Amino acid sequence: MPAFDRHIFICTNKRPPENPRGCCDATGLGQLQLEFKKKLAQFGLKNRVRANKAGCLDQCEHGPNVVVYPEGVWYGNVTAEDVAEIVESHIINGVPVSRLQLKPECINTPSCEHRTKPE
């Protein structure tokens, strides 16, 4: 079997509701990852593209977060309704979904305006 063309990492980290950073999967059910798996299977891509559960990707304030490698394209506030568009536009046609992409100045940036400040 050939190597995977892409990996999609979907944060499935769950935190208690009182945590100030929030989390990407408040239900802990991993529904977003399952939706990616389902959509990849529908397009016959499950042997070429892997939808992996990920722990916290440290961009919590923008969650639910997804990152696609090898391109390193980050998506934030992703819902199940966005999955088909990401798969069709980005994974199949190579065009990232710009409306869902995190701004470069937000990724791994402690001064990001969205990041919860320590008390």
63 binds ligand FES (CB under 6 A): yes
Choose the binding region for ligand FES from 27-35, 37-45, 59-67, 76-84 (rule: CB under 6 A). 59-67
CB-nearer residue toward ligand FES: 45 or 106: 106
Cβ at position 5, least distance to ligand FES in Å:
24
Cβ at position 77, least distance to ligand FES in Å:
11
Cβ at position 16, least distance to ligand FES in Å:
12
Residue 10 · residue 33 · CB < 8 Å: yes
Determine the distance from the C-alpha atom of residue 99 to the mean position of all C-alpha atoms in its chain, rounded to a whole number: 14
Q: Are strands 6-11 and 66-69 parallel, antiparallel or unpaired?
A: antiparallel
Task: Supply 96's token pair.
Answer: 């990232």
33 binds ligand FES (CB under 6 A): no
Task: Supply 108's token pair.
Answer: 């791994």
Cβ at position 54, least distance to ligand FES in Å:
8
3-state secondary structure 82-93: HHHHHHHHHHHC
State how far the alpha carbon of 16 is from the alpha carbons of 11, 25, 59, 113, in Å.
Answer: 15, 10, 17, 23
CB-nearer residue toward ligand FES: 13 or 33: 13
Residues that bind ligand FES (CB under 6 A): 11, 13, 23-24, 56-60, 63, 65
